[in-house]
Structure 1
Amino acid sequence: MSALFSSGHVVDLILIVMVIEAGWLLTRKSRFGRDRMQPLDIALAFLPGVCLLLALRVALTGGPWPWVAVAVTASFPFHLLDLARRRAR
């Protein structure tokens, strides 16, 4: 288990699960009147988490701290865009 975390592969597994979930969301019908979720909605919902997971992967593997900072910082604009898009609805 320790090797799974120290290698960062735990983050890879989580990202794979997120890709599967995004694919499922793209194909399923919504209960709220729309046929399917729009790809942009799904991307904006997932991108902040993906950025944070990439920051975690860099940190777990001993990568340089500027890359951690870049990934964490990149998550914020995606989060704001997601909030703005949800509020506009």
Structure 2
Amino acid sequence: MVWLFASGHAVDIVLAVIAVELIWLVAGRGWRMTDALLRLGPGVLMLVALRFALTGHDWRWIMTALLSSFPVHLADLMRRR
């Protein structure tokens, strides 16, 4: 199991599940793509930051992914108002 996390593939599996959820929300539940992306986007960006951290990327990549999740989260909140 160590290799699964050290390689970042554990995060890849979670991202694949989220991709299936995105397809299900848009095709199965009738959500607009924008709404689904804004709802799932912050979590995806935080998972990307986690993958960067697990695979030893530079801290700037981790910070960029984490900081990018916040405006997407705010856009989702504003859209839902």
Deviation at 1:6, TM superposition (A): 0.5
1:46 positional shift: 1.0
Identify the residue that residue 34 of structure 2 maps to in structure 1: 40
Q: Is 1:20–2:14 an aligned residue pair?
A: no
What is the one-letter code of the residue matched to 2:11?
V
Aligned Cα RMSD in Å? 0.7
- 1:68: which partner in 2? 62
TM score, norm. by length of structure 1 = 0.88
Matched, 1:53 2:42: no
Displacement of 1:41: 0.2
> What is the CA deviation profile of residues 45-82 of structure 1, one whole-angstrom value per residue up to 9, with x for unaligned ones?
11111110010000001110010000000000000000
Counterpart for residue 32 of structure 1: none
Distance 1:74 1:14 in 2: 19
Q: Distance in 2 between matches of 1:7 and 1:51?
A: 18
**1-side partners of 2:40 and 2:31: how far apart?**
13
Segments of 5+ residues of structure 1 without an aligned counterpart are: 30-35
Which consecutive segments of 4 or more residues in structure 1 shift more than 6 A?
A: none
TM-score, normalised via structure 2 length = 0.96
Instruction: Give unpaired runs (5+ residues) of structure 2.
Output: none
